[in-house]
Amino acid sequence: MAEEKESLNFIEQIIEADLASNKHGGDVITRFPPEPNGYLHIGHAKSICLNFGIAQKYGGRTNLRFDDTNPVTEDTEYVDSIKADIRWLGFDWDDREYYASDYFPQLYEWAIQMIRAGQAYVDDSSAEEIAAMKGTPTEPGKESPYRTRAMSENLDLFQRMKAGEFEEGSRVLRAKVDMASPNMHMRDPVMYRIKFAHHHRTGDTWCIYPMYDFAHGQSDSMEHVTHSLCSLEFENHRPLYDWFIQTLQIYPSRQIEFARLNVEYMLTSKRKLLRLVNEGFVKGWDDPRMSTISGMRRRGYTPASIREFADRVGIAKRENVIEFSLLEYCVREDLNKVAQRVMAVLDPLKLVITNYPEGQTEYLPTENNPEDPQAGTREMPFSKVLYIERDDFMEDPPKKYFRLAPGNMVRLKSAYIIECTDVVKDSNGQVTEVHVRYIPESKSGQDTSGIKVKGTIHWVAADTALNCEVRMYDRLFTVPNPGDDPERDFTAFYNEESLRILDGAKVEPSVKEVQVGEGFQFLRKGYFTLDPDSRAEHLVFNLTVNLKDSWAKVAAKGQPA
Ligand code: ATP
Ligand code: MG
C-alpha cells in the first residue's frame, strides 16, 4: 500500500505535467458539482475527497458549485444537507459557493450570441419527433425541418420563449452541430427547454431553463476550473462541452474522467436511495443502513475513516466494485485508535455473587483505551448483583469452553475471579440467574490468589447499569450487487434482517456523559455510537461495525478477553 500511495495516479500525473509546463500559471482549481436533488452518498464522498484532496495537495482551490438547472427536482433542503456533509467530511470551500443558476443570465446571453451566429435554432418539433429524428448510434439522424429557420425568426422566438409566450414542450432551442455525428450528443443537442416551474433560487424569474449539457462546461469555464474531474459517463459529452467552449471562445477547462465508485451492498444512485426512503425500506435518508453520508455519520463512521477509504480505493479508469469489508476495515482501524472502551451487556443474564456483602459498592479502575495511554482510566461500580452476557455462560459446555460454566472459573474484567456454584431456572428450564462465589484475593491489579483462569468476561453492576436499546445492523441487501439483476428490482434483495433491535441491553453508567456522534467500543462486542433518538431515560445505540469482519472467510476463533 505504501508504495502505491507514493506513485501518482493518472490525474495527478496530468496535473503535475500541467504544473511543469505552467499551462494554467500554476493554478489547480477543481470543483465539486452536486445537483441538489438528493442527499450525498459514498460515491459523492469519493468525488469530494478527490476534488478537495487534489487541490489541497497542489496548493489549489476547490469550488462548491450546485448544478441546479432542473427546478423540478431540486430543493434547498438538499443544498443545506450537502453543505453539512462536505463540512463534516472535513473540507471547506471558503467563500466559493456557486450556483449554476447564478449563471442563467450569462448562459442566456451566450445562447443569443449563438443564435445570431447561426449556431442555434428554435425547434417546434415535439420531444417524440426530436427523439425519432435523432437516429441511432449506427444510423445518422435526420435534420429537423426547423433547422434552416432564419436567424431573425430564431431570435424572436427564443426571446418569446423567455417571455413566457409558449407552452411547455412546444419549442426548444437546439445547437446546430451535426446530425450525422457518430457521437449522439453532437446531434443538435437541446440547449433550452420551457418549464413553468419555481426554482429554489431564481423563483419565477425564468420559464426557460438551460440543459445540464449547456450549463456544465460553461460553468466550469466561468470559474476558470483548470481540471474538471467527472465520472466516466461524461466522457461522451466532452466533445460537446469542448464544442461549446470553442464556439463561445471562452476559457477551456480540461475535463478528465474517472470511474465512479461502486461498493458492494451499497447503492450509489440517488434515485434508488430515494425509493428506499419513499417505499419505507428504511426510516429516512440518514437511516444508519443507508449509503448516504448522513446515514454513515449516524451509523458512527468517522470522517477520517471515509477519507482513508477514498484514499485506499484510489482512482480508476474502468468501472469496478469495491468490497464493503474495506470500508468497515477503515472504520474499525480509526475507531480502534480513538474510541473509549466501555462495558455493555447486550443480552443480559443475572449473576449473583453469593459471598459478596449485600448493599456494598466498590469502584474498580479500568482502562479507557488500551491503544491510547493518554486516555486514562475510569472507575466502574461493582456490587453483588451483576449482568453478564447470556452467551458467556453455558450449563453444559463443550471442551475448551473458557467462559463461565458450573465449576468453571473466569475473571470479570477489571474485577475479580469468580466460580460458578449454582443456577436458577424458570419453569421452561431456561437459566434466569447464575450464582457464583468470588475470590476476594483476586482483585485485578492486586491479585494474590495464585489462581490462573483462561477466560475473561465483561459485566455491568445491576443497580447502576443504564437500560438501553441497541440497534444491530447488517448489510441492507442479501446480495453484493442488488442493482445488477436484469429480472428483479433491487428491492427484491432487501435484507429483512438488516435491523435487529435489542431492547433490554444494559450499559455501564459512564456513558451518561456521551454525546451523539461519539464513537466507542462495547468491550468484546463492537463499535457503537449514540443515536440521535436517544433520551436520558432511554439510551439508543447504533452498531457501527463489528470488532472482527464476521464475513471474512477465515472465521475468528473465540473472542478476545
Ligand atoms: P446520482 O446518479 O446518484 O444521481 P449524480 O452523478 O447524478 O449521482 P451529482 O449530484 O450530479 O449526482 O454528482 C455530483 C458529483 O459527484 C459529480 O461530479 C459526479 O460525477 C460525482 N459522483 C456521483 N456519484 C459518484 C460515484 N459513485 N463515484 C464517484 N463520483 C460520483
Ligand atoms: Mg448528475
What value does the mean pLDDT of the chain take? 94
The dihedrals phi and psi of 174, each to the nearest 5 degrees, come to: -120, 150
Cα separation of 541 and 299, whole Å? 9
Average pLDDT over residues 462-485: 96
What is the model's pLDDT at position 553?
A: 41
What is the model's pLDDT at position 378?
A: 95
User: Band of the pLDDT at 1, cuts 50, 70, 90?
Assistant: very low
Best mutation site among 67, 225, 231 for ligand 1, i.e. most ligand atoms within 8 A of its Cβ?
A: 231
Cα separation of 327 and 263, whole Å? 9
User: Are 73 and 94 in the same domain?
Assistant: yes
User: Are 474 and 529 in the same domain?
Assistant: yes
Atom of ligand 1 nearest to the CA of 35: 10
Using the mean position of ligand 2's atoms as its centre, give its distance from the Cα of residue 246 in Å.
24
**Is a pLDDT exceeding 70 seen at residue 270?**
yes
CB-based burial of residue 7 (10 Å sphere; 0-12 exposed, 13-18 middle, 19+ buried)?
Answer: exposed
pLDDT digits (tens, 9 = 90+) for 45-62: 999 999 999 999 999 999
Atom of ligand 1 nearest to the CA of 51: 18
What is the model's pLDDT at position 517?
A: 87
Using the mean position of ligand 2's atoms as its centre, give its distance from the Cα of residue 333 in Å.
32
CA 228 and chain centroid, separation:
22
**Is a pLDDT exceeding 70 seen at residue 193?**
yes
Atom of ligand 1 nearest to the CA of 273: 3
Cα separation of 31 and 151, whole Å? 36
User: For residue 13, is it within any domain?
Assistant: no
Residues with CB under 6 A from ligand 1: 33-35, 43-44, 46-47, 230-231, 260-261, 268-270
Q: Is residue 67 helix, strand or coil? A: coil
User: Are 370 and 508 in the same domain?
Assistant: no
Cα separation of 165 and 466, whole Å? 67
User: Are 233 and 215 in the same domain?
Assistant: yes
Using the mean position of ligand 1's atoms as its centre, give its distance from the Cα of residue 53 in Å.
17
Ligand nearest to the CA of 44: 1
Average pLDDT over residues 339-343: 95
**Is a pLDDT exceeding 90 seen at residue 558?**
no
User: Are 74 and 190 in the same domain?
Assistant: yes
Q: Which residues belong to the active site?
A: 35, 260, 270
Using the mean position of ligand 1's atoms as its centre, give its distance from the Cα of residue 43 in Å.
6
User: Are 348 and 331 in the same domain?
Assistant: no
User: Are 331 and 437 in the same domain?
Assistant: no
CA-nearest residue, atom 4 of ligand 1: 270
Ligand nearest to the CA of 47: 1
User: Are 71 and 137 in the same domain?
Assistant: yes
User: For residue 518, is it within any domain?
Assistant: yes
End residue of a domain, out of 458, 487, 520? 458
What is the model's pLDDT at position 555?
A: 35
Domain count for the chain: 3
pLDDT digits (tens, 9 = 90+) for 123-160: 999 999 999 999 999 999 999 999 999 999 999 999 99
What is the model's pLDDT at position 75?
A: 87
pLDDT digits (tens, 9 = 90+) for 254-267: 999 999 999 999 99
Cα separation of 314 and 488, whole Å? 31
**Is a pLDDT exceeding 70 seen at residue 238?**
yes
**Is a pLDDT exceeding 70 seen at residue 435?**
yes
**Is a pLDDT exceeding 70 seen at residue 532?**
yes
CA-nearest residue, atom 7 of ligand 1: 35
CA-nearest residue, atom 20 of ligand 1: 231
User: For residue 14, is it within any domain?
Assistant: no
User: Are 204 and 351 in the same domain?
Assistant: no
For residue 214, give the C-alpha cell. 449547456
User: Are 250 and 134 in the same domain?
Assistant: yes
End residue of a domain, out of 458, 493, 519? 458
User: For residue 265, is it within any domain?
Assistant: no
The model's pTM: 0.93
Domain membership of residue 109 as a residue range: 24-258
What is the model's pLDDT at position 6?
A: 65
End residue of a domain, out of 458, 492, 518? 458
User: Are 184 and 65 in the same domain?
Assistant: yes
